[in-house]
Amino acid sequence: MTKIVKHIFFSQDKLFVDFQKQFSFESNLNFGATFKSLYKALKLDYPKYFKMDSLSKLGFLAAEILLQDSKLRAMHRPEKIGIVIENSSSTILMDTKHQETLNNKEAYFPSPANFVYTLPNILTGEICIRHKIQGENVMFISSKFDAEMIATYVEKLFDDKKITACLAGYIEINEENYEAFLLLIENSFKDPINEKQLIDIYSKYKNRTNAWKN
C-alpha cells in the first residue's frame, strides 16, 4: 500500500508544489537563466550542479524541491528508496553538443565532460548522489508522460518489498521546452497509487500552466 506524499511540477517558468505556486520566473529568460535563478532562490551550495547538463540540472532542482524538509533519509534505508523516471528526448541537447565537436575533422575535440551527460540515467545518478538513494533505478523513454507505466511499475516495486519509498515522474527537456513532474511516494496503509490518480494530478498541473500562459 502506498501514498503520494508530495508532488511538484516545473514548466514554463512556473513551479508548483502540491498545486500551490511556489516560484515564477520572468518569461523572457532562457531556461538556463531560469534554472540559475531557482538554484539561487533555493540558496543551494552544491558546486557539482554547475558541471551538469540541463537535463540533470532540471531533475536535480526538481528533486531538491520535492525533498526539501523531507525526512526521507531518516525514515528509509538508502537501498529501499527507488527512483523511476521517464523522459522523451533522452539527452538530445547534450547529444547535439557532443556531435558538434565531431563535425569538423580539423577541430575534433570530443569531451568526456560532455559525453557522460549523453546518457539520460545520469540525471537519476545525480539525484542518487545528492540524496543518497541506492535502490531500484530505471529510466524509461516515452513519447509523453506515461502514467500507466509509472503506476504499474512503481506499485510492483512496493508490492515486491524492493522499496519503501520512491521518487517517480517525468523529466523532459528539449530545444523548445522543459517539464519536470516529480512525486514522492511512500508505503502506507492507504490504497495503492493508480494510473488515474497520476493522470488527474498531471492534467491539473498542465491545465494550470496553460491557463497561466494565456
Partner 1 sequence: MHEVFVHSTYLVTSLGFGIRENMDKLYHEQSGSTLIHDQKYSPEAFFGSKIEHLRFATEFENQFPSLSIEYTLFEKLLLFVIQKSIQNISFPLNTKDTLLIISSTKGNIDLLAKSERDKWEKERIFLWKSAEYIQKFFKLENKVAIISNACISGVEAISVGARFIRSGKFKNVIVAGADILSEFVVSGFQSFQSLSLEQCKPFDSGRSGLNLGEAAAVLILSSSENKSFAKVLGSASSNDANHISGPSRSGDGLFLAIQSALMESEITANQLDFISAHGTATDYNDEMESKALSLANLESVPVNSLKGYWGHTLGAAGLVESIVSIEAMKENKLIRTLGYENHGVSKNISVVASTKTHRIDTFLKTASGFGGTNAAIIFQKHNQHD
Q: Which residues 59-88 are close enough to bind partner 1 by CB under 8 A?
A: 78-79, 83, 88
Compute the least distance from the CB of residue 148 to partner 1, in Å: 9
Q: In this complex, which beta carbon is closest to partner 1, that of residue 16 or of residue 170?
A: 170
Q: In this complex, which beta carbon is closest to partner 1, that of residue 18 or of residue 100?
A: 100
Cβ-Cβ contacts under 8 Å for 132 (sequence gap 6 or more): 73, 78
Give the three-state DSSP class for 74: helix
Rg of the chain in Å (alpha carbons): 17
Yes or no: say if 81 and 72 are a contact pair by the CB < 8 Å rule.
yes
Residue from 4, 17, 44, 138 binding partner 1 (CB under 8 A): 138
Yes or no: say if 147 and 153 are a contact pair by the CB < 8 Å rule.
no
Compute the least distance from the CB of residue 68 to partner 1, in Å: 19
Cβ-Cβ contacts under 8 Å for 122 (sequence gap 6 or more): 53, 55, 56, 91, 116
Enclosing H/E stretch for 174:
none
105 is a contact residue toward partner 1 (CB under 8 A): yes
Enclosing H/E stretch for 200:
helix 195-213
Binding mask 155-174 for partner 1 (x = CB under 8 A): -xx-xx-x------------
96 is a contact residue toward partner 1 (CB under 8 A): yes
Binding site residues, partner 1, CB under 8 A: 78-79, 83, 88-90, 92, 95-96, 98-99, 101-103, 105, 108, 110-112, 115-116, 118-122, 124-126, 128-129, 131-143, 146, 149, 152-153, 156-157, 159-160, 162
